[in-house]
Amino acid sequence: MTKDMKTTTLCYHCGETCEDTLISIQDKHFCCQGCKTVYEILNKVELCDYYAISQNPGLSRKTIIRPDKFAFLDDEQLKAKLIGYADTTQSHVTFYLPQMHCSSCIWLLEHLARLDKAILRSQVNFLKKEVLVVFDPAHTSLRKVTELLASIGYEPHFSLHSMSGKKIKTYDKSRIYKIGITGFCFGNIMMLSFPEYFSLGSAEDKGLLKLFSYMNLLLSLPVFFYGASGFFSSAWKSIRQRSLNIDAPIALAVLITFVRSVYEILSGSGAGYLDSMTGIVFFMLIGRFFQDKTYNTLSFNRDYTSYFPLSVTLVTEQGQERSIPVSNLEKGMRIKVRNGEIIPADCILFYGKARIDYSFVSGEALPVERSVGEIIYAGGRQSGSALEMEVVKEVSQSYLTQLWNNDAFQRKEEKGTSYIHTISRYFTLVLFTVAAITAAYWYVKDVSRLWNAVTSILIVACPCALLLSATFTNGNMLRVLQKFGFYARNAGVIEQISGIDTVVFDKTGTITQQGHTTIQYEGGMLSTEAQQLIRSLASQSAHPLSKAVLQVLPVSPLLPVKEFKEQPGFGTEGRIGDHRVAIGSAAYMQMEKKTRETGSSVYIKIGGNIAGKFVVSTAYRKGLPGLLTRLKKQYLLSLLSGDNDSEREKLKDLFNAQLLFDQSPQDKLEYILRLQEQGYKVMMVGDGLNDAGALQQSNTGIAVCDDINNFSPACDVIMKASAFSYFDLLLKYCKRNRIIINTSFVISILYNITGLYFAVQGQLQPVIAAILMPVSSVSIVLFTTGMSSFFAIPLKTAGRKNKTDNGKLI
Amino acid sequence: MSVIILLISASLLIATGFLLAFIWSVKTNQYEDDYTPAVRILFENDVKQSTEPDTNEKTK
C-alpha cells in the first residue's frame, strides 16, 4: 500500500485530521477546541492514561452541546424514572452511552470518581454500552453528572423508551440454570450408564447395577421437571390452540422416554433410556440458547416516540425559556428549536430562518427552506439558527405520528410459517403412521412386544435431530452475520431471506451516504490564484456548501476579504485585493436556472464573469455499482425515492430497473403490496421513517444505519452501512441456510432409519440407543456449525477487503 | 465393590460442588458482561491514588 505522502496531523484526542496546527498544547495537536478542552480536563486530574491505552481514543467534540441542553433532568418526574435506586447518601443511575468503543473508554468511565468527588463509583458494561454511576445526591445531581459525561465526549442517550420505566429484559437467567443443571445430570447419567452399555458386571454385581439405575432416576428428575419444563408448557399451549408446534413431538418423546424408563427401572426389567432423554433435553436447550441469543443493545421494534427528543424548550409569555417533557407539549405553546434539533410537533414558524432536513422522514436529500408564517411538519431536523414557533397540533396528532399510526404501518404478526415447521409436521405425521403400523403388526403377532416396540419408535425417531440442525445452523449463521454487521431480528428472518426474489431500494440514506457529498467542478480552468481567492471567500461563510467547496480546494494561505457580504442560504461576496469575488447559487448570481440540475450548484464569479460552478451531490455508498451488477443477476431490482428525479439519469445506468421518484411513504407501501400481489417475495432496503411502512409490508425489511445504535425504523434486520458493499454475499449466505438444513436433515433421517430398523422389531438394545443418540446429535451439531462457517469464507474475504479499503473498522 | 460406591459418591460430590459454583456464578451476574472484566483487569493500578475504588464489587 502506498502511504499518503502529505503529512497530516491527527488530533491527539479523537484522531481526526487537523486542518491546521493552531490548536495545540506542547507537542499535542487538536482538531478543535472541544477536543482540547477534554484533554485539559483529563490532564488536570491526571487521567491521561486514557491516551496510553488506545490510540486517539477520544470522540470528536466539534458539535458543541449547548449549556441548558440537560435542564430537563432537573424535572423530578423524569429524575424518578431514570434513577434506579436512591437513598440519602447515594443514587444509582445507569446511562446508555452509545459512543463507547474501546478499552480507553472503559478506563476513563470507571475513573469518573476522579473528575468529580461526588461520584462514588462507576462501572461499565461494555457489551450493553452502559455505565452505572453511583453518586452522592447531596453534592451533585443527575444533571451535573450527565453534563460531566457530555463534557468529556460521552453524551448519554435518553429516549422516551428508557423513560417508560420498564427495564428491558436482558437475558434469561433461568435458561442458563437449565443448561447447567441438565448438563450436570446428563454427564453423570452417561457415566453411570456405562456398565450397562457394555453389559459389564457379572451376576454378583446386579445390586450395583440396580443402584446405578436408581441414581440415574434420581438425577433425571431435575431434567424432566425443570430442564424440560419449557418444552412441555410450549407444547401444551399449542395443543390448547389446536395446532401442533415443533415442541409437541419433542415433549411427547421426552415424556414417553421418561415414563418407560421409570417403569423399567422400578419393575427391574431394564435400565431405561434416561441417558437419551437427558441428552435430548440438554442439546435442545443449548440449541435454543444458541439460536435465540438476542442483541442487548439493538431494538427492532422502535416506534416514532423513540425518534422524538425527550424535552423541548418552551418560551413563556415573559420570554423566559424552560425545558418541558415533549409529552406535555400542548397546542398554542411557543417553543424554540435550535440547530440540530428535531421538530417535535407540527408548528407555525414565528421567527428565524428554517432550513429543515427531512431526509429521514420524507427521503428528500436536500434541506427544505421555510420562511416565517409557514407550517413546519414534525420530524425534520433544523440546521442553522434557532427557530421560534408555535405548536398547532399536539405530538400525538401531528402528520408524522398519524402516518405511523396508519393501520398499514403496524407490524403484521409472524410473516409466514417457518419452513422447519412444515417439515416437522410431515415428520410427525410419518412417525405416527409408522408407530401405528408397528402397533397393528405386533397386536396381531405378539401383544407382549407391542408396548416395547411403539415406545422405542417414539424415542428413537424424535425430531430432535431435525430441530437441532435448524437451531444450530440458524444460531451459527446469526453469529456469523452479526460479525459482518448484519443483525437479524431472529432466526426466522434468515429463512425468509432465502425465499426473496425482489429487492427494492430506497435512495436517500440507503444507497446514498447521508452527510457525504461528492463535488465536481464544471467550467473553465481555475488558476492557482483563482483557487486561493475562492478559498479565502468560502472560508468566511458557515454555509455547508461553502464548507464543501473549501474541502476540495488545495490548502493555501487565506487572504483578507474586504466588503464582505453574505446573504444566508444564497451566496456570499467580497473584495480580495483587486478582485471582486462572489460564490453562490444561480439565483444569487441572477442567472436563470437552465434545467433541473443534479445536486446543488455553487457558481463562482470572479471579476464580472462566471468562471464555473461546483456541483455538490450526495455520494453513493461505496461499491454500489458492483453490488447492483451482482444483484441484478439474481433479483428483480427497483428503486423508490421520496426525492425528486434529478438523479434519474445517473441511477438509470446503475439500476437498469424500475425507478420511481417523489414517492410518499404510502406510495412506497402500496408499491410493495402490488409486487406481493403479483406473487413476488419482496425485500425492502431502507433507512428512514419514510420507509417504515414499506419495511413493515415487505417480506423482509432491512434498515441500513451508519450507526446501529441510532434510531432506525421497525424492521427485520438492521444492517451496518459498512456492510453495504457486500450485501449480495450476505443474501447468498442466508440462502445457504436451506441447503445446510436439508442436508443435515437427510443425515438425521439416516440415523432415524437405522434406529427404527431395530425399534420396529422391538429389539432396540440400550447400547445401540445410547450410542445412536449422542452420535447423531453431536454429528449434526458439528456438521451444521462446520458448514455454516465454511460458507462464510467468501464473506470473510469481502469483509477483510472492505476493512482495508476503509482504513479502519467502522 | 464398596470401592466403586465410594468412588461414585466422591465423584458425584465433587461434580455437585461444581454445579453449585456454576449456579452461584450465574446468580451473582457474572454472565451479564463477559467482556469488560477482561479488559478491566489489565488496567494498571494507580500508585498516586491510594484509595482505588473496588471495581470488582458487585451491584445489588
Residues 6+ apart with CB under 8 A from A468: A283, A284, A287, A748, A777, A780, A781, A784
C-alpha cell at A695: 419495511
Any domain includes B45: no
Distance CA A682, CA A502 (A): 5
pLDDT in tens, A267-309: 887 777 888 889 888 988 888 887 776 665 566 666 666 677 7
**Per-residue pLDDT tens for A399-452?**
666 666 665 555 554 545 566 677 777 777 887 888 889 889 888 888 877 877
Between strands A311-315 and A321-325, the pairing is: antiparallel
Q: How many Å apart are CA A209 and CA A648, to the nearest integer?
A: 80
Distance CA A229, CA A177 (A): 13
State the pLDDT at residue A407. Answer: 57
Closest residue on chain A to B12 (Cα): A188
Considering the domain boundaries, does residue B36 fall inside one? yes
> Over A286-314, what HEC string results?
HHHHHHCCCCCCCCCCCCHHHCCCCEEEE
pLDDT of residue A250: 82
For residues A27-46, give the mean pLDDT: 78
Show the DSSP H helices in chain B as ranges. 2-27, 36-40
Query: A438 near A449, Cβ under 8 Å?
Result: no
pLDDT surpassing 50 at residue A75:
yes
| Listed range (A126-130, A346-350, A402-406) with the worst mean pLDDT | A402-406
Strand partners, A93: A83, A133
User: Residues 110..169 of A with a Cβ closer than 8 Å to B: which?
Assistant: 110, 113-114, 120-121, 123-128, 132
What domain range includes position B30? 2-40
Q: What is the pLDDT of residue A161?
A: 55
**Residue where the block lists cell 459482518:** A484
Q: Would you state the pLDDT for residue A217?
A: 93
CA A52 to chain centre: 31
The pLDDT value recorded for residue A229 is: 92
| pLDDT, mean of residues A65-90 | 77
Report for A37-41, A352-356, A478-482, A751-755: range of highest mean pLDDT: A478-482
Whole-angstrom distance, CA of residue A302 vs CA of residue A553: 42
Task: Give the one of B5, B8, B53 whose C-beta lies nearest to A121's C-beta.
Answer: B53
**Would you say residue B58 lies in a domain?**
no
Between vectors from CA A248 to CA A246 and to CA A249, what angle results, nearest 5°? 85
Interface of B with A (CB under 8 A): 1, 4-5, 8, 11-12, 15-16, 18-19, 22-23, 26-27, 31-36, 39-40, 42-44, 48-49, 53, 55, 57, 59
Our separate counts of H helices and E strands in chain A read 26, 28
3-state secondary structure of A505: strand
Is residue A548 packed enough to be buried (19+ CB in 10 Å), middle (13-18) or exposed (0-12)? middle
Are A143 and A156 in contact, with CB atoms under 8 Å apart? Answer: no
A744/A473 Cα distance (integer angstroms): 10
Strands (DSSP E) contained in A577-730 are 579-584, 600-606, 609-620, 636-640, 658-660, 682-686, 700-705, 717-720
CB-CB neighbors (< 8 A) of B1 in chain A: 205, 208
A598: pLDDT confidence band, cut at 50, 70 and 90? Answer: low
Amino acid found at A394: E
Contact residues, chain B, for A216 at CB < 8 Å: none
Q: What is the pLDDT of residue A219?
A: 93
pLDDT band at A201 (very low <50, low <70, confident <90, very high): low
Q: How confident is the model at residue A223 (pLDDT cuts 50, 70, 90)?
A: very high
Q: How confident is the model at residue A715 (pLDDT cuts 50, 70, 90)?
A: confident
The one-letter code for the residue type at A176 is: I
- Between chains, do A177 and B26 touch, taking CB under 8 Å as contact? yes
- On whether residue B51 sits in a domain, the answer given is no
* Average pLDDT of chain A, as a whole number: 79
- Provide the pLDDT for residue B53: 44
Task: Give the gap in angstroms from C-alpha A783 to the nearest C-alpha of chain B.
Answer: 28
**Partner-chain contact B44 A49, CB within 8 Å:** yes
Whether residue A521 contacts residue A551, with contact meaning beta carbons closer than 8 Å, is answered with no
Per-residue pLDDT at B16: 94
∠A52-A53-A58 over CA atoms, to 5°?
85
Query: How many Å lie between the alpha carbon of B28 and the closest alpha carbon of chain A?
Result: 11
> What are the cell numbers at B27?
446468580
Closest partner residue to A103 (CB to CB) among B8, B18, B39 is: B39
| Closest-CA residue to A275 (of A779, A772, A780, A750) | A772
Average pLDDT over residues A749-756: 78
Q: Is the pLDDT of residue A459 over 80?
A: no
Closest CA in chain B for residue A93: B59
Check CB contact under 8 Å for A205 and B35: no
CB contact under 8 A, B36 and A106: yes
Report the domain count for chain B.
1
Residue A341, pLDDT > 50, answer: yes
At residue A605, the pLDDT reads 82
**Percent of chain A at pLDDT above 90?**
5
B29 CB burial (10 A radius; 0-12, 13-18, 19+) = middle
In B, which residues are within 8 Å of A121 by CB distance? 53, 57
Q: Encode pLDDT of A536-588 as tens digits.
A: 888 777 676 777 777 777 777 777 888 887 776 678 888 888 888 888 877 77
- State the best of A92, A168, A188 to mutate against chain B, taking most chain B CBs within 10 Å: A188
User: Which neighbouring-strand residues pair with A606?
Assistant: A581, A609
Residue A4 has pLDDT above 60, yes or no: no
- Cell matching residue B19: 454445579
- Residue contact A126–B39, C-beta within 8 A: yes
In the block, residue with C-alpha cell 455508498: A621
Does the distance separating the beta carbons of B35 and A49 come in below 8 Å? no
A667 contacts A639 by C-beta, under 8 angstroms: no
pLDDT at A225: 94
**Quick check: A563 and A540 in contact, CB under 8 A?**
no
Query: In the A/B pair of chains, how many CB contacts fall below 8 A?
Result: 71
Q: Which of A640, A408, A618 is nearest to A503 (CA)?
A: A640
Going by C-alpha positions, the residue among A81, A153, A93 that lies closest to residue A119 is A93
Q: Is B57 inside a domain boundary?
A: no
Neighbours of A105 (CB within 10 A): 25
Contact B43 A107 (CB under 8 A): yes
Whole-prediction pTM: 0.73
Q: What would the mean pLDDT of A598-614 be, rounded to a whole number? A: 77
Mutate which of B7, B12, B31, B33 to disrupt the A interface (most A C-beta within 10 Å)?
A: B33
Instruction: Report yes or no for ipTM above 0.90.
Output: no
B21 → chain A, closest CA residue: A180
Q: How far is CA A519 from the centre of its chain?
A: 31
Inter-chain residue contact A126 with B36, CB threshold 8 Å: yes
Residue A199 has a pLDDT of 66
Q: Taking the CA of residue A491 as centre, how many other CA atoms within 13 Å lie in the half-sphere pointing to its CB?
A: 25
A128 contact residues in B (CB cutoff 8 A): 33
Residue A792 has pLDDT above 80, yes or no: yes
> Which grid cell sits at B35?
467482556
Q: How confident is the model at residue A3 (pLDDT cuts 50, 70, 90)?
A: very low
Per-residue model confidence (pLDDT) at position B56: 44
Quick one: average pLDDT of A739-743? 87
Instruction: Flag whether pLDDT at A240 surpasses 60.
Output: yes
* Closest CA relative to residue A476, chosen from A800, A783, A798, A802: A783
User: In this model, does residue A162 exceed pLDDT 60?
Assistant: no
Residue among B8, B23, B53 whose CB faces A177 most closely = B23
* B36 vs A764 pLDDT, higher one: B36
CA–CA gap between residue A374 and residue A804 (Å, rounded):
48
Residue with the bigger pLDDT between A756 and A667: it is: A667
Question: By the CB < 8 Å criterion, does A92 face chain B?
Answer: yes
Which of A507, A467, A473 is closest to A290 using CA atoms? Answer: A473
Q: Which three cell numbers mark A153?
A: 465526549
Say yes or no for a CB contact (<8 Å) between B1 and A205. yes
Q: Which residue did the predictor score with more confidence, A196 or A804?
A: A196
Backbone angles phi, psi at B3, to 5 degrees: -60, -45
How much is the average pLDDT of A340-369?
Answer: 78
A184: nearest CB among B15, B26, B31: B15
Q: Name the minimum distance, in Å, from the CA of A142 to any CA of chain B.
A: 19
β-sheet with A717-720: strand ranges across:
A486-488, A717-720, A700-705, A682-686, A502-506, A636-640, A658-660
Mean pLDDT of A30-36: 77
Q: Please give the residue of chain A at the shortest CA–CA distance from B52.
A: A111
- Encode pLDDT of B18-56 as tens digits: 999 999 998 888 877 778 888 888 776 654 444 444 444
Asked if A53 lies within 8 A of B5 by C-beta distance, the reply is no
At residue A189, does pLDDT exceed 50? Answer: yes
What residues pair up with A574 in beta bridges, in sequence order? A581
Chain A residues whose beta carbon lies within 8 Å of the beta carbon of residue B53:
110, 113, 120-121
Q: pLDDT of A661-697, one tens digit each?
A: 888 877 888 888 899 899 888 999 988 777 877 888 8
pLDDT at B50: 40
- Any chain B CB within 8 A of the CB of A106? yes
